[in-house]
Amino acid sequence: MNKPVSPDELTTDEDGPLYAPRKKVYPQSVSGRFRSIKWRLMAVCLGVYYLLPFVRWHRGLGAPDQAVLIDFPSRRFYFFFIELWPQEVYYFTGLLVLAAFALFLMNALGGRIWCGYLCPQTVWTDLFYAVERLVEGDRRAQMKADAGPMTVKRAGRRALKHAIWLMIAWWTGGAWVLYFADAPTLVRDLATLQAPVIAYVWIAMLTASTYLLAGYMREQVCVYMCPWPRIQAALTDEWALNVTYKYDRGEPRCSVKKAFDIRSLGEKAGDCIDCNQCVAVCPTGIDIRDGAQLGCIQCGLCIDACDAVMTKVSRKTGLIGYDNDINIQRRVAGKQEIFKPVRARTVVYASLITVVCAVMLYALMSRTLLDVNVLHDRNPIAVRLSDGAIRNGYTLRFLNKRGFDRVIAIDVDGPADAKLHVIGADSVTPDRPMIVLGRDTTTELRVLVTAPFDEKAEKSVPVTFRVTDIGLGEVASATDHFVLP
Amino acid sequence: MSEHNEIDRVSGRSTTGHEWDGIKELNTPLPRWWVLTFYATIIWAIGYWVVYPAWPLVSGYTTGLFQYSTRASVATDLADLEKLRGEKMAVLGNASLADIEKDPALLALARARGKTVFADNCAPCHGSGGAGAKGYPNLNDDDWLWGGSLDQIMQTIQFGARSGHAKTHEGQMLAFGRDGVLKKDEIVTVANYVRSLSGLSTAPKFDPAAGKKIFTENCTSCHGDNAKGNPELGAPNLTDQIWLYGSDEETLVETITNGRAGVMPAWVGRLDPVTVKALAVYVHSLGGGK
């Protein structure tokens, strides 16, 4: 922060730059256990994202055969065998709750492993780094090129890099819109410029955001923009495994030769040889040896780098590893390391996940495929007929969530001798109005219930509309009130 | 600016020289992107003057390059809406009233169209739900002055009642008192008789035989021998429980003395035929018609 300065030190009223400029990070390529886990997870994540829209799922006549489809025009969401209607949006709430608890559990077990392995920002930035290294060379080559003058060769490489980046970004935006329409059709329409404008707008927006976030902003997203590092500090505890520099083993740092000399005198020398490899490979440009910090995304690449160096100097690997402060204290005190994945916190998270899963599964299995809602007329609330009888009007809304048409009969339980009249019913028997419900649609009907006027009757009597599927015998009902004027 | 310059000793930055209650404003420069955005808005505004209507003149305004007009764009939108509706409305226009009643999709379409048209045109008199008011018939019940079939309802909507249109429904409740046909006490007697027809209580000194005699001589020509009314003349059924103006003795005396002649306007020139058809279907569905 600003410190008080004496007026003598101020020779100019130029205030200097407002913001500290970004220091560009040139992460060096690395290979090892965590790097290969990252490659595989990247392949899985990107594979699912890019290819899922093309997976087919046969649902029958008239229904879309895309496995995962968010169908806005007809207000349906399809996920393999599940078809959700707008009023069932609580399933998404359940999914979000599940996602949150899964993050909490992950965090309690392994710290910010979401950030390091699964976060889209990490996945795409990693991919963009790979492209950059492929085209412009590794850390040293890039730093040297950036320090030197711009040559034709360098400009060409840079153009190639941006072209590949833009292609990836463009296909990222393209895959996104494929979730909202039949993918093969939309691909053809996009290619022949027949697709709706909104599709191009979304592709453009996601191309731009992918290109900017993964190509330019990179670790700044994690450090400045993302709320998760702030939140996870409140969620983590002393047992969570974090990428940790084991300073009890590493300090004091000294070269291999010097360490040999010190150790031959019987004094303690650390295993860290201060080669800075852990810093060189870090995608957020931090020094893990400074301890746990906001910029660390727990990707474990410094572990790979350090292990390689330790192997080279014939020392035990694991100077940097998934560990916690408890173990460092225990080792200092000469005690055994302990790891405790089963703790109150993790048990609570795991049970909450189980409960939410069970509730969602039950809701999904027991959801009705025939439904009826009722709305009483408000104006007039009741009508007196010429013979003195009372009539109430209602709007019934039927939901047929099955993929075929069906015939339903409507019955009414209400005041004594109540008669039901359905406007536009295809009646088979006079007293039991029947209608055909189209497949996978809602149908709205106006019905009139008439009952003889009874002076002694209650002012308001419950009235229940029962809907029976003639073929399947499924029954649904809705209750409202029959009101006297 | 430079003569005001003064260095703030705490932050090391210069001040603007503005001071409020001992607090001085630091001369903090804006970020460059902010300043550039500001300049861009100025350029945008100049472009706006040229492209869109912007400057008021003595009699008129600058129309801009695009000749943009909100009025014209509303007209275009309305034309687009009509075009959008056109196909479906054409189907509605070609279907007969009976066909519309039978086809659930057409019925739903006609009711939806009818509902909005009803709210725009009919609700002021008949109420938003068609519940009516004194002198304005309730369209949810089963009593129809001019007939409650689909065709009869459509006829009434098209030409109205006593509307002045050549094809309108005609029919008049005569002013028996004002015109001197019946005396005051005779009117009270027949009013009580009419109440007795629907099973309502009558005055203590009421003579049913006298009432029946007056009714037969004066009223049956329109209301019928058994007082069941006549939809040809718009004469209401006097034996049921529904009263357009009220059933108490005072109201009936007023009705018989001065007559009634409520007016329903003709909609034939104001609404297009398809709309009238949709409206008839909607009104018929309110109470199921007859």
pLDDT in tens, B16-62: 888 888 888 887 777 677 788 899 999 999 999 999 998 999 999 99
DSSP state letters, A292-342: S-TT-----HHHHHHHHHHHHTT--S-SEEEE-HHHHHHHHTTPPP-----
Check pLDDT > 90 for residue A325.
no
CB-based contact A25:A285 (threshold 8 Å)? yes
A83-101: per-residue pLDDT in tens? 889 888 889 999 999 999 9
Segment A142-184, tens digit of pLDDT: 999 888 888 899 999 999 999 999 999 999 999 999 999 999 9
Identify the band that residue A81 occupies on the pLDDT scale cut at 50, 70 and 90.
confident
Query: How far lies B194's CA from each of B176, B239, B245, B251, B262, in Å?
Result: 15, 8, 14, 12, 20
Across chain A, which distance is largest between two alpha carbons, in Å?
A: 117
> CA A40, CA B234: separation in Å to the nearest integer?
85
Predicted local distance difference test score (pLDDT) of residue A11: 47
Residues A376-395, mean pLDDT to the nearest whole number: 91
- Judged by a CB distance cut-off of 8 A, whether residue A455 touches chain B is no
- Beta-carbon separation of B28 and A15 below 8 A: yes
Residue count (chain B): 290
Element holding B222 (H helix, E strand): helix B220-223
For B91-132, write each residue's pLDDT tens digit: 999 999 989 988 888 999 999 999 999 999 999 999 999 999
Q: Does B29 touch chain A (CB under 8 A)?
A: yes
For chain B, give the mean pLDDT: 90
- DSSP-assigned states of every residue in A411-427: EEE-STT-EEEETT---
User: B23 to chain A nearest CA, in Å?
Assistant: 17
Beta bridge partners of A412: A465
Q: Residue A101: what pLDDT? A: 94
- pTM for the model stands at 0.72
pLDDT score of A22: 72
Q: Which residues contact A258 (CB under 8 A, 6 or more apart)?
A: A269
pLDDT surpassing 80 at residue B199: yes
In which residue are the tokens 């999904």 written?
A364
Residue B190 dihedral angles phi and psi, to the nearest 5°: -70, -30
Find the mean pLDDT for residues A3-15.
53
What pLDDT was estimated at residue A4? 53
pLDDT at A254: 87
CA distance B288 to chain A (A): 7
> At A178, is the secondary structure helix, strand, or coil?
helix
Residue A390 belongs to what H/E stretch?
A: strand A390-400
Residue B2: the pLDDT is 46
- In this prediction, residue B166 carries a pLDDT of 93
Looking at residue A19, its pLDDT comes to 58
Query: Is the predicted pLDDT of residue B216 greater than 70, yes or no?
Result: yes
pLDDT at residue B1, as a whole number: 43
| Å between A115 CA and nearest CA of chain B | 31
| Phi then psi dihedrals of residue A460, to 5 deg | -140, 125
Please tell me whether residue A148 adopts helix, strand or coil conformation.
coil
Whether the predicted pLDDT of B288 surpasses 90: no
Residues 15-34 of A with CB under 8 A from B: 15, 18-19
pLDDT for A17: 55
Question: DSSP E strands: which ranges in chain B?
Answer: 15-20, 23-26, 56-57, 60-61
Whole-number pLDDT of residue A455:
81
Cα–Cα separations (whole angstroms), residue A380 to A383, A391, A459, A485, B118 = 7, 10, 15, 9, 15
pLDDT for residue A73 is more than 70: yes
A346-374 pLDDT, tens digit per residue, is: 999 999 999 999 999 999 888 888 999 99
The distance of Cα A354 from the centroid of its chain, to the nearest Å, equals: 19
Query: Looking at the predicted structure, is the pLDDT value of residue B253 above 60?
Result: yes
The tens digit of pLDDT for each residue in A415-458 reads: 888 988 888 776 656 678 888 898 888 888 899 999 998 888 88
Query: What is the per-residue pLDDT for A229?
Result: 86
Give residue A152's pLDDT: 92
Q: Per-residue DSSP letters for B73-142?
A: HHHHHHHHHHHHHHHHHHHHHHS-HHHHHH-HHHHHHHHHHHHHHHHHHTHHHH-TTS--BTTB--SSSS
Residue A134 reports pLDDT greater than 90: yes
If you measure CA to CA, which chain A residue comes closest to B32? A18
Both tokens assigned to A443: 């149908």
Using the 8-state DSSP alphabet, how is residue B15 labeled? E
Residue A193, Cβ density class (10 Å: 0-12 exposed, 13-18 middle, ≥19 buried): exposed
CA dist B31 and B39 (Å) reads 13
Task: List the alpha helices (DSSP H) in A445-484.
Answer: none
Please indicate whether, in this complex, the C-beta atoms of B29 and A18 are within 8 angstroms of each other: yes
Which helix (H) or strand (E) segment holds residue A408: the answer is: strand A406-413
Mean pLDDT (chain A, rounded): 89
Q: What is the pLDDT of residues A32-72, one digit of tens each?
A: 999 999 999 999 999 999 999 999 998 877 788 999 999 99
Residue of B nearest to A394 (CA): B286
What would the pLDDT profile of A274-319 be if each residue is shown by its tens digit?
A: 999 999 999 999 999 988 888 899 999 999 999 999 999 888 999 9
Cβ pair A391:B240 closer than 8 A: no
Rounded distance between C-alpha atoms, residue A315 and residue A309, angstroms? 9
Give yes or no for residue B133 having a pLDDT over 60. yes
A contacts of B7 (beta carbons < 8 Å) = 7, 10, 13
* B129 contact A CB<8A: yes
- Model ipTM value: 0.77
Q: How many Cβ atoms from other residues are within 10 Å of residue A191's Cβ?
A: 9
- Spell out which residues of chain A touch residue B108, defining contact as CB-CB under 8 Å: 444
In chain B, residues with a C-beta closer than 8 Å to the C-beta of A12 are none
Is the pLDDT at B8 greater than 50? The verdict is yes
Determine the average pLDDT of the residues in B181-200.
93
Angle at A394 between CA A392 and CA A398, to 5 degrees: 155
Q: What is the pLDDT of residue B85?
A: 87
Query: What pLDDT does residue A166 have?
Result: 96
